[in-house]
A and B are shown apart, each in its own frame.
Chain A
Amino acid sequence: MKVCLVCSHGGHFTETLQILEAFAGHEIFFATYHSAREADVLNIAPGSYFTENIGMNLGRMLKAFPWALHILLKEKPQVVISLGAEVAVPFFYCAKLLGMKTIFIESWCRVENLSLTAKLVYPIVDEFWVQWPQLLKVCGSKARFKGAVI
Chain B
Amino acid sequence: MILVTVGTHNKGFERLVRAMDELAAELDEKVIIQYGSSSYIPVYAEHFQWTSSQQMQELTRQARVVVSHAAAGAILMALIEGKPLVVVPRMKEFGEHMDNHQLQLSVALYKAGQAVMVSQINKDTLILAIQKCSILEVKETGAKMLVLGIKDRLASWSSNQ
A: residues with CB less than 8 A from B are 1, 3, 10-12, 14-15, 18-19, 21-23, 26, 36-37, 40, 78-79, 81, 101, 103, 105, 107-113, 127, 129, 131-132, 134, 146-150
Contact = CB atoms under 8 A, between A and B. Distances in A.
Interface residues of B, number: 35
Given A11-B71, A112-B104, A148-B143, A103 B76 contact: no
Contacts of B52: 36
Contacts of A10: 8, 73
B8 A149 contact: no
Interface of B: 8, 52-53, 71-77, 79-80, 101-102, 104-105, 107-108, 114, 141-151, 153-154, 157-158, 161
Most chain A CB within 10 A, of B53, B107, B148, B154, is at: B154
Contact of A127 (B79, B144, B153, B161): B153
A81 B104 CA distance: 25
A107 B75 CA distance: 13
A11 B148 CA distance: 22
A15 B72 contact: yes
A22 B150 contact: yes
Contacts of A146: 145-146, 149-150
A81 B146 CA distance: 13
25 contacts: A14-B73, A14-B76, A18-B143, A21-B143, A22-B146, A22-B147, A22-B150, A22-B151, A37-B53, A78-B157, A78-B158, A79-B157, A108-B72, A111-B104, A111-B107, A111-B108, A127-B153, A134-B108, A146-B145, A146-B146, A147-B143, A147-B144, A148-B146, A149-B146, A150-B76
